Amino acid sequence: MKEARAQFGKTAAAYVTSTTHASGADLERLIAVAAPLPGERAIDVGCGVGHTLRRIAPLVAFAVGADATLEMLQAGRESVVAAANAAFAQSDATALPFADSSFDLATCRLAAHHFTDVAAAFRDVRRVLRPGGRFVLVDNYAPDDPVLDTFINEVERLRDASHVRNHTITGWRELLEAAGLRTSVESDLMTTKITTEGWLERSQTPRDRAAEVRRRLREAPAAARDAFKITDTTFAVPKVVILAMRLA
> For position 129, what pLDDT does the model report?
98
Contact 124, 96 (CB under 8 A): yes
CA distance 77 to 51: 11
- pLDDT category of residue 74 using cuts at 50, 70 and 90: confident
Q: Does residue 10 surpass a pLDDT of 50? A: no
- Region for 163 from its dihedrals, namely left if φ exceeds 0, alpha if ψ lies in -120 to 50, beta otherwise: beta
Domains defined along the chain, listed by start = 2-143+163-192+238-246 (3.40.50.150)
> For position 181, what pLDDT does the model report?
97
Contact 140, 237 (CB under 8 A): yes
- pLDDT tens sequence across 104-136: 999 999 999 999 999 999 999 999 999 999 999
Neighbours of 1 (CB within 10 A): 16
pTM for this model (two decimals): 0.90
- pLDDT tens sequence across 195-244: 999 999 998 999 999 999 999 999 999 999 999 999 999 999 999 999 99
CA distance 104 to 74: 25
CA distance 160 to 114: 10
Q: What DSSP character marks residue 84?
A: T
pLDDT, the chain, mean: 91
3-class SS letters over 20-31: HHHCCHHHHHHH
> For position 123, what pLDDT does the model report?
98
- pLDDT category of residue 8 using cuts at 50, 70 and 90: very low
